[in-house]
Amino acid sequence: MKRLAVIAATVLAATALSIAPASAHAALQSSNPAENAALDAAPDEVTLTFNQAVQSNFATVTVISPDGIDWAASDPAVDGSTVTVDLDGLGAAGEYTIGYRVVSADGHPITGSVPFQLTQPSPAAATPPTTNLDFTNEAAQAAPQDTEVVEDDSGFPIWIIAVVVVAVGASGVLFALRKRTH
Ligand SMILES: [Cu+2]
């Protein structure tokens, strides 16, 4: 009985240890503007706070207006677990999307987006900053949360396998039934 308890404890400890590294990468903890916040004026900056420090290189942050323009007015500044970009005003009223990509301490890239509303058009609407729109749009449209999900890009439709399996099974049943009635 005592031995069983020791084995159980060992298995639990080993499981806990093997799970720990997978959850060690950074996750977004909060943002300013907060998710779905409604603002009547453009903030001076956008701040993203992660649950742990992220790497100071490779961070990208975009602030995309309803018409697809990136309003981020600086490169992202990484300070430990916070990432900040300056804003020089925003554009039309509507839904904006903060898109981010950072690399966490364990080397995993973390991407996501945070929507917020601008209820009044911003005074700076006339002069959108010019940035690489193709790239920023791609970042803004990234999946809303962790994108470590590996896509199945083998291209082979699984339903074909299902149809074949069902067809083979059905013909086997028919064959067996026919044999029995004869
Ligand atoms: Cu990780």
Q: Is 125 exposed, middle or buried (0-12, 13-18, 19+ CB in 10 A)?
A: middle
Q: How does the average pLDDT of the chain come out, rounded?
A: 78
Work out the pLDDT band at 121, boundaries 50, 70, 90: very high
Please name the helix (run of DSSP H) or strand (run of DSSP E) that holds residue 171, with its range, or none: helix 158-181
Q: How far is the CA of 145 from the centre of ligand 1 (A)?
A: 13
Q: Using alpha carbons, list the distances in angstroms from residue 108 to 8, 23, 148.
A: 32, 11, 8
Q: Compute the average pLDDT of residues 125-144.
A: 49
| pLDDT at residue 110 tops 80 | yes
Question: Does the N-terminal peptide bond of residue 33 adopt cis geometry, omega within 30 degrees of 0?
Answer: yes
Residues 68 and 80: their CA atoms lie apart, in Å, by: 30
Domains in the chain, start-ordered, CATH in brackets?
Answer: 26-140 (2.60.40.1220)
Give residues whose Cβ lies within 5 Å of ion ligand 1.
25, 106, 108
Ligand 1 centroid–CA 82 distance in Å is: 17
Q: pLDDT at residue 182 above 50?
A: no
| pLDDT digit string, tens, across residues 154-173 | 555 666 667 777 777 777 66
**What pLDDT does 163 receive?**
72
Q: 22 CA to middle of ligand 1, Å?
A: 6
What pTM was computed for the model? Answer: 0.58
- Distance from Cα 17 to the centre of ligand 1, integer Å: 14
> Does residue 148 surpass a pLDDT of 60?
no
Pairing of strands 45-50, 82-86: antiparallel
Cα 181 to middle of ligand 1, angstroms: 61
Evaluate if residue 45 carries a pLDDT over 90: yes
Confidence bin at 139 (pLDDT 50/70/90): very low
Output the CA 88–ligand 1 centroid distance in Å.
Answer: 33
